[in-house]
Structure 1
Amino acid sequence: MGTVKQFQVTFDCAEPERVARFWCEVLGYVVPPPPEGFASWADFERTLPEEEHGKAFACVDPTGVGPRLFFQRVPEGKVAKNRLHLDVRVGTGLVGEERLAVLESECARLLELGATRVRLLVADGYNESCLVMQDVEGNEFCLD
């Protein structure tokens, strides 16, 4: 049996820092400190060639438990549904109206951050309700 390995989740996007900061707010993640010797990421970026500016950004779980999220600029735009998405677990253990209230409350908060509400998937006797949403660049995720 193989050993469990650390992993990061990588997003292709047009504006890495914008998308990373959105996900920091969604998940309570933080921007990691800049490399040693630099007061900020902007200071570090000024040492890079111009074509490297804004190319990538990351955020991390401050507790060290969740995976690192990495955002990299790509030239092409999003053209299809994600094959992979994040489920943001805000309603774990809740059912019915109580679950819906928590999902709607978090949805309202994320709309203010620039997210888009796509649709509510209502409980079907097997799965509990969840809300399908999109981040600031249209990447799908669920409030679950």
Structure 2
Amino acid sequence: MAVVKTIQVTFDCAEPERLARFWSQVLGYEFRGSSCVDPSGVGPRLLFLRVPEGKVVKNRLHLDVRVGTGLVGDERVAALESECARLIPLGAVRVRLLRADGVNESCLVMQDVEGNEFCLD
């Protein structure tokens, strides 16, 4: 018998509503206070919890926003750059482009409005 499990991804943060609004816009999710939800019901709910301490080190877990799936080379980089350009006005910060290396395809490392790393992949 198969067991179906759903997950919720929870972020510690300083400003839950601000982060939830940001990720709602990034992913096309519905904003719901301190969370955002996939309107199709397929993706995980993202929940943002206020904590007193600030972020100090690199994330041990990060989200990959899959905008380049099936694309390679310059076409993939162009898709990543286009999405990056859409996200910067929302408050995202571009960190660096990691070019394809023969093992991994190109991805673009970014930070959200509270400095949490994520990748455009």
Same structural fold, with TM-score higher than 0.5 when normalized by the shorter chain: yes
State the Cα RMSD in Å. Answer: 1.2
Partner of 2:111: 134
Partner of 1:68: 45
CA distance in 2, matches of 1:10, 1:4: 20
Mark the runs of 5 or more structure 1 residues left unpaired by the alignment. Answer: 33-40, 42-56
How far residue 4 of structure 1 moved from its aligned partner, in angstroms, is: 2.8
CA distance in 1, matches of 2:62, 2:108: 13
How far residue 2 of structure 1 moved from its aligned partner, in angstroms, is: 6.6
How far residue 3 of structure 1 moved from its aligned partner, in angstroms, is: 1.8
Partner of 1:84: 61
CA distance in 2, matches of 1:88, 1:81: 18
SS at match of 2:96: strand
Partner of 2:4: 4
Runs of 4+ in 1 over 2 A off after TM superposition: none
How far residue 117 of structure 1 moved from its aligned partner, in angstroms, is: 0.6
How far residue 82 of structure 1 moved from its aligned partner, in angstroms, is: 0.3
- Alignment coverage as a number of residue pairs: 121
Higher Rg: 1
TM-score under structure 2 length normalisation:
0.96
Identical-pair percentage: 79
1:45-73 alpha-carbon deviations (Å, 9 max, x no partner): xxxxxxxxxxxx11100000000000000
Counterpart code for 1:96 = G
Mark the runs of 5 or more structure 2 residues left unpaired by the alignment. Answer: none
Alignment of 1:105 onto 2:78: no
Partner of 1:58: 35
CA distance in 1, matches of 2:52, 2:2: 36
